Chain A
Amino acid sequence: MPDKDSQIKEWVEGYTDELFKWASYKLPSRETAEDLVQETFMAAYQSWDKFNGESSPKTWLYAILNNKIKDYFRKEIRNIVITESRLLPENEENSFLDIFFDKNGTWKKEMRPQHWITEEEDLLDNSSFSRTLHDCLNKLPALWNKVISFKYLEEKKGNDICKETGLSSSNYWQILYRARLQLRECLEKNWFKK
C-alpha cells in the first residue's frame, strides 16, 4: 500500500480540478469553493485510515466535499436567522408580491404564467435550460438562494430543513414561495422568450 503522503498528493493532482469545479458551481464565491476543497483534502488526510477502498477515492472525496458544502449553507442560514430580525424585506407583504398579483390577488396580466413551448421531458437533461436555471438562482437574494441550495443538497423537506437551519416553517415556505415566483418568471423571460 502506498504511503499516506504520496497517496494524498496523487489525489490532489488528480481530483482538485473536478472537485473545485463542482464546488464553484454550488457555492456563491470562488474563495469559499477553494477553502472547502482544501478542507476536503485536509479531512481526507486526517481520516485516511477510515478510507477502506470500498468506494473509489473520488466518491469518497465527493462525499466529504458535499458534507462541507451542506455545513457551509447550514451555518450561513443559521447565522442569518440569528442575526436578522426580519428575514423578509420590510413592507414586503406589499412590495414583492405586488409585482405578481393585483389587489384582488389575481395574477397581473404581464406576470401570468404562460404555457412553455418546450415539452417538460425535453427540459430535463437539457444543459442549456439547466444553465439558465442556475443563472436565475444566482439572481435571487442571497438568503433565498442559500435556502434553495441547502434544501436540494440535503434532499430533505420542510420540518427537517427548519430544524437544521433554525428557520420557522412559515419563514421557510414564504422564502421558498417568493424564490419560486421569481425563478419561474426569470426562466420564462430568459429561456422561453429569448
Chain B
Amino acid sequence: MLSCKKASALIIKRNDFLLTRKERIQLFFHLLVCDACHTFSRQNEVVSKVLEQQNRLPSNWQKEMSAVEELKEQIISGLK
C-alpha cells in the first residue's frame, strides 16, 4: 500500500508527467480509501486553476503603487 507521502507526490507529479501504469494503479487505490489525499488532490486542482487565472486576468486587486511618473521620464529619456 502506498504511503500518503508517496501518494501526494504522485498527485503533483501527474500534473506534469505521465505516471507509469503501476503508479496510476497504486494511486487510484490509495485515493479510494484515503480522504486526506483525496482532499489534497482536489484542493491542488483548485489552486492550479487559480494560478492559471492569475496569468490571464490582470489582477482584479491592485497593490498600492507609488507614482510611476519618474519611470515614464526615465523610459522616454532612454529612448533618445
Complex-state Cα separation, A128 to B59, whole angstroms: 11
| Majority secondary structure, A binding face | helix
Binary contact track A1-30/B, C-beta < 8 Å → 1, others 0:
000010011001100111011101100000
Chain B residues positioned under 8 Å from A140 (CB to CB): none
Binary contact track B41-59/A, C-beta < 8 Å → 1, others 0:
0111111011111110011
Chain B residues positioned under 8 Å from A51 (CB to CB): none
Closest to B65 in A: A21
Contact B53 A124 (CB under 8 A): yes
Chain A interface residue count: which class? 35 or more
Contact B39 A16 (CB under 8 A): no
- Expressed in whole angstroms, the minimum distance between the Cβ of B23 and any Cβ of chain A is 12
Among candidates B13, B39, B61, B75, residue contacting A130 with C-beta atoms closer than 8 Å: B61
Contact A113 B40 (CB under 8 A): yes
- Expressed in whole angstroms, the minimum distance between the Cβ of A6 and any Cβ of chain B is 11
Contact B78 A130 (CB under 8 A): no
Chain B residues positioned under 8 Å from A12 (CB to CB): 72, 75-76
Contact B9 A177 (CB under 8 A): yes
Among candidates B39, B40, B71, B76, residue contacting A20 with C-beta atoms closer than 8 Å: B71
Among candidates A21, A41, A106, A173, residue contacting B17 with C-beta atoms closer than 8 Å: A173
Complex-state Cα separation, A189 to B23, whole angstroms: 31
Cβ-based interface call for A72 (8 A): no
Residues of B within 8 A of A (CB): 3-6, 8-9, 12-13, 15-17, 36-37, 39-40, 42-47, 49-55, 58-63, 65, 68, 71-72, 74-76, 78-79
Given A127-B60, A157-B16, 8 extra CB contacts under 8 A: A24-B65, A25-B63, A41-B75, A113-B43, A115-B39, A120-B46, A152-B52, A184-B44
